A = this chain, B = another copy of it.
Amino acid sequence: MRLGEIGEFGLIGRIAGKVAAGAGVRLGIGDDAAVTETEAGRLLLSTADMLVEGIHFDLSFTDPFRLGRKSLAVNVSDIAAMGGHPRHALLCLAIPADLPVEFLDRFADGVISLAEEFGVTLIGGDTCRSSSGLVISITLHGEQIPARIIPRSGARPGDDLFVTGTVGDSALGLELLRRGERSGHAVERHLNPTPRVSAGLSLAESGMASAMIDVSDGVLADLGHILTGSGVGARIDASLIPLSPYFSQRAPDVAPAPLSLALTGGEDYELLFTAAPGRTAQVETLLAASGVTATRIGAIVAGSDVTVTAADGSLIPPERRGFNHFAP
């Protein structure tokens, strides 16, 4: 079925029909604006991400269901990185005229499956025609009480630096997709990432993290945002970077420098955070209860430099550049 047959309001109706009633929603899809409650004493967290066909995703690599999940997941990850509870989402789509309605149905199913996993309700948005590829823009609201919000700016010299899970898998997955693979641990992590909401909330509620960000542009690039925001530097022990067994096995096939892929590859959607020194065991235990590992990978230092040390103690020249969206 083509979109022209059902029209914009037909499409909105199809999506709205999939959305269950959500907590705090007074008025959902279908008016000039959605109306929601913010719980007393809590602040509103708002984040927005745009995904453009040919830039952020390739329809020959992914399927509409996983694309829908990932489109929301990258926003949920931003709320997780503030230590917040994800709540309500607005979905905007610019849609090529020849995209089948069935694609959009599966895409919406994907958005909603991830939404339901994380307690998010779709409350509004916009749909229109695209003059070329598919463009997805999602705004997500979250909530948290003021004292528990974890900004990028709280890291202090002496703090330990941690990352959840493993890094590099997503970048490896993208490279494997480019080489024709369509499945496996790394491909799945690239196409269907899991935002670390429970881990973020545990850190928020425990007061343990001094600064936090999610790994979307790569460990070094995202660490750079914490350092800039906090006015500090860092040293990373490369031998501590947590890698999956799959990454350790496959990365050497596709990357001349697997460690660089792990440090600069983006889209892992793990949490990178700092905590006061001497709490490594506590942090590990806390996050284990959220179902993820936490690994100490270095420490915050005075100044603004980042040093990366190899297992033998030698310095690795820092590569702090993340993905430049506007590079030629």
Instruction: Please list the residues of chain A having a beta carbon within 8 angstroms of any beta carbon in chain B.
Output: 2-4, 6-8, 11, 26-27, 30-38, 40, 43-50, 52-56, 78-79, 81-82, 84, 88, 90-95, 97, 123-133, 135, 137, 139, 141-142, 146, 149, 151-153, 212-214, 229, 324-328
Contacts of A55 in B (CB 8 A): 94, 128-131
Which residue of B50, B93, B151 is within 8 Å of A128 (Cβ)? B50
Cα distance A55–B48 in the bound complex, in angstroms? 22
Cα distance A224–B266 in the bound complex, in angstroms? 46
Pairwise interchain contact A326-B53, C-beta atoms closer than 8 A: no
Given A8-B326, A47-B90, A48-B139, 8 other A-B contacts at CB below 8 A?
Answer: A3-B326, A31-B229, A32-B47, A32-B82, A49-B126, A50-B128, A52-B135, A54-B131
Task: Return the chain B residue nearest A135 by Cβ.
Answer: B135
Pairwise interchain contact A328-B32, C-beta atoms closer than 8 A: no
Q: Determine how many copies of this chain the complex contains.
A: 2
10 A-B pairs closest in CB distance: A54-B131, A137-B137, A132-B132, A3-B326, A139-B139, A33-B47, A32-B81, A33-B45, A38-B38, A32-B78
Cα distance A128–B11 in the bound complex, in angstroms? 26
Pairwise interchain contact B37-A43, C-beta atoms closer than 8 A: yes
Pairwise interchain contact A82-B325, C-beta atoms closer than 8 A: no
Known: A27-B151, A97-B326, A325-B129. A90 touches B48 (CB 8 A): yes
Pairwise interchain contact A129-B326, C-beta atoms closer than 8 A: yes
Pairwise interchain contact B325-A7, C-beta atoms closer than 8 A: yes
Cα distance A229–B43 in the bound complex, in angstroms? 32
